[in-house]
Structure 1
Amino acid sequence: MIRLAQPPRADWQRIVEGQGLIWHTADGRPYWDESVHYRFTAAQIDTIEAATAELYRLFLAAGDAILADPALLARFDIPAAFHQPIRDAWAAEPPALNIGRFDLGYDGAGPPKLFEFNCDTPTSLLEAAVVQWDWKQAVFPALGQYNGLHEALVAKWRDLADYLPPRVHFAHADEDSGEDALTVAYLRDTAAAAGIETVPLLVDDIGWDHDAHRFVDADDAPIAALYKLYPWEWLTREAFAPQLADSLATGSTLWIEPVWKMIWSNKAILPILWQLNPGHPNLLPASFDIPDGDAVAKPLLAREGANVSIRRGGRVVAEAAGAYADQSYVYQALYPLPEPAPGCFPVIGSWIVDGAPAGLGIREDGLITGNTARFVPHVIEG
């Protein structure tokens, strides 16, 4: 796993914009950074793929344990009204893409280590599935890339088609960067490629029909199935939370992804994974209590590195601002990320689709990976 420099394509901005990546520059510097890339050996990719499959197995077992123990579920700060809907959805296994991104620390030699699992609202999907593949084909056509994401997504939508209503709504928040809109547009494209009719929708335009007891869109059309790039923990705290619980109980809307994703995407699962699998090579020690050694403090529901702090020798050496400071925290042992360039620390994003490993992306940032991290492509040698 080495980091190498190469000249960016002369018209790279036009190329990636044509692929839908409008949000390619942030704070005056490239977010999509093709001036460097990472090279892996086939054996290293095999290691990452095997670790991803193993972590998914651990999450399945942890889900069973958490939902069987009310005391464990209480650690997640999930409103009590949604505990039973989570259990019901876990048992029923409603149609789902079951996609997610394991964020891993990896130095190319030791076992990959789990930082967290982004499986409710994972982004950087278009970059990983399409943009870096096109870059590889143009710049290093003879080399490989660990990337079956696009094909896996289309295949999974095709598998789901018989279990879905005629139209599926796709919703996201109206946020400034456009990243959520980009991700949802790409997922709509993959669904359309599988023959599914899709309808765009802003979260703010979701309404409730009190007579029919169901969610509707801005045209008052029923929302029979909804893919939403909007966190479950936000939905359960919206003014319409009682109606949401009603919808989950009656099944009037099929939610993609299902409500049980709340337990996997919540960082409270990290100490529980460690309790269930102490010493596992792909896990870092984690606790609900402040440890004696070097650690990373993470709010349960923080996003994009917000309010994360790094503690060494009892002293905070790095921290990120954010709006999650008043949450409960977990503490994960500090993993020394490789630093192939000064101030540059890569985090592996290893993707699953339908629970199976499907490819990876890499983001580079400082000690804390935030929303201004750069996406860097990769290839496989030989």
Structure 2
Amino acid sequence: MRRLTATPRPDWREKIESVGLVFSASTKPDGTQVEYWHESAYYEFSMDEVERLELVAEDMHRMCLEAARFLGTGAMGDLGIGPQARELAVASLEAADPDVYGRFDFAYDGHGDAKLFEYNADTPTGLIEASLAQWYWLQDVMPEKDQWNGIHEALIEQWKRYRSRTGMSRLHLAHAGNEDSGEDWMTTAYMRDVAEQAGWATVGINMADIGWNHGYQRFVDLDDYPISTLFKLYPWEQMVREPFGQYLLARELNPAWVEPAWKMLLSNKALLAALWHLYPGHPNLLPAYLDSPRDLEAWVAKPLHGREGDNIRIHAPGIELEQPGDYGREGWCYQAYQQLPDFDGNHPVLGLWVVNGESVGCGIRESDGPVTDFYCRFVPNTIDAPAPAVGATAS
């Protein structure tokens, strides 16, 4: 794995916006504007690295399912979601409710073992840049190369499998914001596109516009049409706390959710402690515990429901850091501190995407400091190997 420099395309902004990456620029609290999309550099993998890391991601997904079953027993508490929500998640896991996608975050520098930071299994973002934007960058800049990226094709195939398995054909897709919310809206729009390519008839809706019809005893859309299958870019732990959350607890009254309720167990940071409990010393895991750091000399405290690095606390040699945010009341997981790789002051995290439990691609975000937060950069990747033959899919 190497970080190499590249010359940005003159019309790069128009190119990324044309595929839906319209949320590249953001402004820090001090007024500094930062660009999320960064094509002045790229990371290059060897094919051997890709194949090894694919196995790591797939093994980790299987291990996480075992850890979710352990969390479902209540052995590590109510996970900040309460016993009824935990029971709902367990019932969903036992029923093997189908899922679509997820993203692991790993530290990896090209040497040694990749180390798991977390599993974004319920509402993973970073999808458009990993699936589309970096693929079109590759075709424009170095089409002779391959890329670790089969995400788009894998999503279409999974939505086809989902339709075949459930017999459903109408899919509602919802997010929490509006068109101005950028990433959530565009990620949901992209998921709608791949679902339509898989043969679904789709309906877009805001989460706030989903209603409950007492006569039907069903969730309904704005036309009072019952919702049978719903993709939602909205966290389960928030849904179960809201006024309509009481209706979620009766599985027989619910639509088929994507992602399903069992993802509550995988997206919770308690998963990290459960993994270490079940697989102590595993080369791809970092020691992790609930409630206290125990014997860890350097650690990162992560709120169980935290996102985007909010409220993370780092205690390590030369580092005492606490991020702002609104999380933490639900409880904490303490994970051994793992220094991010350093490529000339750039600190990458690998986002390894899985679809139907299979590794399908990689998106890389890098930061200037020890936390990969909202103001990080997305940097494309290549594989040091020839591009696949015409008609083949990049892996």
Per the normalisation by structure 2, the TM-score is 0.92
* Alpha-carbon contact 2:221-2:227 (below 8 Å) kept: yes
Correspondence for 1:237: 241
Out of 144, 147, 150, the position equivalent to 2:146 is: 144
Counterparts of residues 223-302 of structure 1 (less than 5 Å): 223-246=227-250, 248=251, 250-288=252-290, 289-291=292-294, 292-302=296-306
Hey, what's the Cα distance between the residues in 2 that align with 1:231 and 1:361? 22
Q: CA deviation at 1:164?
A: 4.3
Correspondence for 2:357: 355
Hey, what's the Cα distance between the residues in 2 that align with 1:61 and 1:326? 26
Q: Does the residue aligned with 1:114 lie in a helix, a strand or coil?
A: strand
Q: Does the residue aligned with 2:324 lie in a helix, a strand or coil?
A: coil
Correspondence for 2:189: 185
* Alpha-carbon contact 2:58-2:359 (below 8 Å) kept: yes
Q: Which runs of 5+ in 1 are unaligned?
A: none
Q: CA deviation at 1:165?
A: 2.6
Q: Does the residue aligned with 1:76 lie in a helix, a strand or coil?
A: coil
Q: Deviations over 1:340-381 (max 9, x none)?
A: 132x21000000000000000000112111112111101011
* Alpha-carbon contact 2:105-2:117 (below 8 Å) kept: yes
Between the two proteins, what is the percent identity of the paired residues?
A: 43
Counterparts of residues 35-184 of structure 1 (less than 5 Å): 35-67=40-72, 69-72=73-76, 74-97=77-100, 99-162=101-164, 163-174=166-177, 176-184=180-188
* Alpha-carbon contact 1:47-1:111 (below 8 Å) kept: no
Q: CA deviation at 1:211?
A: 1.6
Hey, what's the Cα distance between the residues in 1 that align with 2:69 and 2:306? 24
Matched, 1:380 2:383: yes
**How many correspondences in the alignment?**
375
Report the CA distance shift for 1:51/1:95 in structure 2 as closer, same or farther (over 3 A): closer
Report the RMSD for the aligned CA atoms in angstroms.
1.5
Q: Deviations over 1:223-280 (max 9, x none)?
A: 111100000000000011112223x2x1441111110100000000111100110100
Q: Which amino acid aligns with 1:18?
A: S
* Alpha-carbon contact 1:164-1:225 (below 8 Å) kept: no
Q: Which amino acid aligns with 1:327?
A: E
Q: Which moved more, 1:253-262 or 1:22-31?
A: 22-31
Q: Deviations over 1:164-218 (max 9, x none)?
A: 4331100001165410111111111110001111100100101111121111112
Q: Which amino acid aligns with 2:70?
A: A
Hey, what's the Cα distance between the residues in 2 that align with 1:114 and 1:228? 26
Q: CA deviation at 1:75?
A: 4.4
Q: Does the residue aligned with 1:94 lie in a helix, a strand or coil?
A: coil
Hey, what's the Cα distance between the residues in 1 that align with 2:169 and 2:107? 41
Q: CA deviation at 1:148?
A: 0.8
Q: Which runs of 5+ in 2 are unaligned?
A: 28-32, 386-395
Correspondence for 1:8: 8
